[in-house]
Amino acid sequence: MKAGKICFKCKQRAPNYCNKQDKVCKPCFMDSVVHRFKSSLRTNLKIWKDDLNLICVSGGSASMALLDLMHNALFGDEESAAEGVVKVSQRKLFFRVHVLHVDEGRAVYGWSEEFHRQQLEMIKRLCEEKYKFTYTIVPIEAAFDIVPASLDVRMPSPEEKERLLQERKMDEANHATQDDQLFETVKNKHMEIEDLEAKRERFKALISSLPIESSFQEDLIFYLKKLMISDFCLRYNFKKALFGTTSHKVATQLLGQICKGRGASVAHEISYVDDKNFGGRISYMSPMRDFLLKEIALYNRNRKVEAILQEPLAKINQQKLARPTNAPSFASTDLLIQAFFSKLQDKYNVNTVPTVVRLTGKLKKEDFEGGDARPYPFCPLCLGVRDRINNLLEVGSIIKSIQVSKEERDPDQFITKTKDVPAAVQSADEWFPDQLEQVLCFGCKRLAISAQNRS
């Protein structure tokens, strides 16, 4: 064969795909995806033998691909290997996996009872029969049952830091353990909550109080889900929570978070490992951070991975209006930025998104020491970095008054002199009398301000 008409990797078969300008055959492409995923687990996430991992599955294409890749990394795939799609794994991994699915179908998207039942049965069937993973399904309405004391965002004291450090060393040496009796209460269970219908209506009222533009509703839903995942991890001693975050999601978050006033958290939340919260007791991980949406789609197609096909919430909201907006991407900030990167990736330069992802690796993470000066550096809603009081976007100026020196004051005009003494803001209480404004970050304050009914 001529150059360019054979797979650049094996140099034997005709290419099936063009991935980042590289022409590759189907077996080599699938083998590459599996190899990159396993390498990410070892090198970037440092997941080793007998580690206890929580796989957070929404049902979308990326999270279902994560579930399938996890199964492949653990058990290999003799069935596809027999068909010549992917090689049998030469080096299998040995760690423990539990699947958590937050059920948001009826409360958020308004699914019918029959469609809702079918999707949950699909999740259960895949976990039990295909992947042999234990699972827990939790309704999103359970967010109202979270005990605030269980999600303490206070930075640990020096004594607590030392205890957590020793606990982490023990986990690395002996691996995290669980209370088997407690875990049995959620193992392979669809959790039931009291007053489900009442809480569902309450949840819908909460979401509908926010404007449908600028991704406010989507952001609040995501933050509530993250709080539920964190509560589940702390309660059942899961140290690592894995998400199906792709490179397009990373690039979208980079610009999106800055546009929403959440730039202080970007460096942590789009990295491979985010362990800034709860004294490092939970690590939020993104093993698929370097995978393009195209690669995920091809992998799912070849592996026949089942997923929940769901339209974006912004589109659903616009379709309900008598006069839908003419704004692009249904007036959604996240969808607009994602479309921007997708067009650049497809029509301008195939390395656009990978370049942005590499750029995010150069962002410097803030080191949180805590102590009396800043005991609560995180927002209790989004778990992101809470802005300092000298954020001029919030307060306008840190100077609240100027004591003018009578000795040098010009009676005809007001010009400050060298002896004039400015009085600066000393605490958050001086600018934010409302307790809600004191504890939330800048982005969450904007979200709360935009609500129609703040009660």
Confidence class for position 247, pLDDT limits 50, 70, 90: very high
Residue 427 has phi, psi (to 5 degrees) of: -150, 165
316 vs 365, residue with greater confidence: 316
Give the pLDDT confidence score for residue 410 in this predicted structure.
56
Instruction: Give the whole-angstrom CA distance, residue 33 versus residue 117.
Output: 32
Give the pLDDT confidence score for residue 1 in this predicted structure.
41
**Taking residues 419-427, what's their average pLDDT?**
68
Q: In this structure, are residues 206 and 381 in contact, taking their beta carbons and an 8 Å threshold?
A: no
**Taking residues 221-227, what's their average pLDDT?**
96
Q: Are residues 426 and 304 in the same domain?
A: no
Give the pLDDT confidence score for residue 445 in this predicted structure.
87
Q: Is the dihedral of CA 232, 236, 239, 243 positive or negative?
A: negative
CATH number for the domain that contains residue 83: 3.40.50.620
* Model confidence at 84: pLDDT above 60: no
**Taking residues 250-273, what's their average pLDDT?**
90
Give the pLDDT confidence score for residue 409 in this predicted structure.
53
Is 387 within a domain?
A: no
* Domain-terminating residue out of 336, 360, 384: 360
1 vs 377, residue with greater confidence: 377
- Distance in Å from the first CA to the final CA of the chain: 70
Is 194 within a domain?
A: yes
Percent of the chain whose pLDDT exceeds 70: 82
Is 193 within a domain?
A: yes
Question: 278: burial class by Cβ within 10 Å (0-12, 13-18, 19+)?
Answer: buried
Is 157 within a domain?
A: yes
Most confident of 7-16, 119-128, 273-282, 369-378: 119-128
Q: Are residues 311 and 412 in the same domain?
A: no
Confidence class for position 88, pLDDT limits 50, 70, 90: very low
pLDDT tens digits along 258-269: 988 888 888 898
* Model confidence at 428: pLDDT above 80: no
Q: In this structure, are residues 390 and 398 in contact, taking their beta carbons and an 8 Å threshold?
A: yes
Rounded alpha-carbon distances, angstroms, from residue 190 to 60, 99, 185, 306: 19, 12, 10, 20
Q: Are residues 163 and 271 in the same domain?
A: yes
Instruction: Give the whole-angstrom CA distance, residue 1 versus residue 16.
Output: 14
Beta bridge partners of 161: none
Instruction: Give the whole-angstrom CA distance, residue 300 versus residue 347.
Output: 23
Helix/strand/coil (H/E/C) assignment for every residue in the chain: CCCCCCCCCCCCCCCCEEECCEEECHHHHHHHHHHHHHHHHHHHCCCCCCCEEEEECCCCHHHHHHHHHHHHHHHCCHHHHHCCCCCCCCCCCCCEEEEEEEECHHHHCCCCHHHHHHHHHHHHHHHHHHCCCEEEEEEHHHHHHCCHHHCCCCCCCHHHHHHHHHHHHHHHHHCCCCCHHHHCCCCCEECCCCCHHHHHHHHHHHHHCCCCHHHHHHHHHHHHHHHHHHHHHHHHCCCEEECCCCHHHHHHHHHHHHHCCCHHHHHHHCCCEECCCHHHCCEEECCCCCCCHHHHHHHHHHHCCCCCCCCCHHHHHHHHCCCCCCCHHHHCHHHHHHHHHHHHHHHHCCCHHHHHHHHHCCCCCCCCCCCCCCCCCECCCCCCECCCCCCHHHHCCCEEEEECCCCCCCCCCCCCCCCCEEEECCCHHHHCCCHHHHHCCHHHHHHHHHCCCCC
- Lowest mean per-residue pLDDT among 24-28, 44-48, 92-96, 152-156: 92-96
pLDDT tens digits along 32-65: 999 999 999 888 887 766 678 899 999 999 999 9
Is 3 within a domain?
A: no
Q: Are residues 286 and 401 in the same domain?
A: no
- Lowest mean per-residue pLDDT among 13-22, 242-251, 356-365, 407-416: 407-416
Q: Are residues 334 and 425 in the same domain?
A: no
Compute the mean pLDDT over every residue in the chain, rounded to the nearest whole number. Answer: 84
pLDDT tens digits along 318-370: 988 888 888 889 989 999 999 999 888 887 777 889 899 988 888 888 877 65
Q: How many CA atoms lie within 13 A of 442 on its CB side?
A: 20
Q: Are residues 400 and 443 in the same domain?
A: yes
What's the whole-model pTM score? 0.87
Give the pLDDT confidence score for residue 2 in this predicted structure.
45
Q: In this structure, are residues 83 and 76 in contact, taking their beta carbons and an 8 Å threshold?
A: no
pLDDT tens digits along 9-25: 888 888 888 877 788 99
Is 84 within a domain?
A: yes
Is 253 within a domain?
A: yes
Residue 278 has phi, psi (to 5 degrees) of: 55, 35
Q: Are residues 333 and 423 in the same domain?
A: no
Q: Are residues 341 and 403 in the same domain?
A: no
Residue 220 domain boundaries? 17-360
- Residues whose CB falls within 8 Å of the CB of residue 390, separated by 6 or more in sequence, listed in order: 398, 425
Instruction: Give the whole-angstrom CA distance, residue 169 versus residue 239.
Output: 12
433 vs 97, residue with greater confidence: 97
**Taking residues 410-432, what's their average pLDDT?**
62
Q: Are residues 438 and 305 in the same domain?
A: no
Q: Are residues 219 and 152 in the same domain?
A: yes
**Taking residues 158-185, what's their average pLDDT?**
76
Rounded alpha-carbon distances, angstroms, from residue 349 to 21, 23, 52, 59, 195: 10, 16, 39, 30, 52
What domain count does the chain have? 2
160 vs 137, residue with greater confidence: 137
Is 379 within a domain?
A: no
Residue 316 has phi, psi (to 5 degrees) of: -60, -45
Give the pLDDT confidence score for residue 96 in this predicted structure.
83
* Domain-terminating residue out of 313, 345, 360: 360
Give the tokens for residue 416: 């400050």
Instruction: Give the whole-angstrom CA distance, residue 308 versus residue 120.
Output: 10
Give the pLDDT confidence score for residue 438 in this predicted structure.
77
Q: Are residues 253 and 340 in the same domain?
A: yes
* Model confidence at 405: pLDDT above 80: no
* Model confidence at 70: pLDDT above 50: yes
Instruction: Give the whole-angstrom CA distance, residue 334 versus residue 338.
Output: 6
* Model confidence at 78: pLDDT above 70: no
- Residues whose CB falls within 8 Å of the CB of residue 304, separated by 6 or more in sequence, listed in order: none
Rounded alpha-carbon distances, angstroms, from residue 289 to 223, 257, 364: 20, 17, 18
Q: Are residues 352 and 417 in the same domain?
A: no
* Model confidence at 7: pLDDT above 80: yes
Confidence class for position 395, pLDDT limits 50, 70, 90: low
